[in-house]
Amino acid sequence: MRLSDSEWKIANCLWENDSMTIAEITSALSESTGWTRFTVITLLKRMLEKGAVTYVQEGRTKRFSPAIDKSEAENEEVESLLDKVYNGNAGLLISNIISSERLSEEQIEELRKLFQEE
């Protein structure tokens, strides 16, 4: 299941808080996104259709929760990037990241350790 950039914002909110109401999501994201509750409702409706979120009705309020695991969504996103940009070649991705000089020495050392463990 692929999430749009906007859906990722809501999913991250839910992963951090376990469950939230529309008002809570809107409040949490309004400063960084400028979204109104209507935007949040539209995105949640899309996410419900995809099976990315579920909700429990509490009186007149719906409490939304993530229906997918964060690591599962992250892995799918990485797979999509690998396929789309690097034809499935993870080595090219890593080479590009290293050559972009965006990694700190600590991050490079972490990568070395990961490769040595494998």
| Interval 86-104: pLDDT, tens | 999 988 888 888 888 888 8
User: pLDDT digits over 5-20, tens only?
Assistant: 999 999 999 999 989 9
Which residue has tokens 């994201």? 29
User: pLDDT digits over 105-117, tens only?
Assistant: 898 888 888 888 8
What average pLDDT does range 22-36 have in this prediction?
Answer: 97
What average pLDDT does range 40-47 have in this prediction?
Answer: 98
Cα-based distances in Å from 96 to 31, 47, 75, 110: 33, 32, 19, 17
What CATH number matches the domain at 70-117, 1.10.3720, 3.40.50, 1.10.4040, 1.10.3470? 1.10.4040
Residues of the chain with CATH 1.10.10.10: 5-66
The CATH-assigned architecture of domain 5-66 is: Orthogonal Bundle (1.10)
CB 64 within 8 A of CB 19: yes
Q: Identify the CA nearest to 82 among candidates 103, 69, 102, 97.
A: 97
Instruction: Please list the alpha-helical segments (H only) found in 1-118.
Output: 5-17, 22-33, 37-50, 70-86, 90-99, 105-117
Q: What is the pTM of this model?
A: 0.80
Q: What is the pLDDT of residue 118?
A: 65
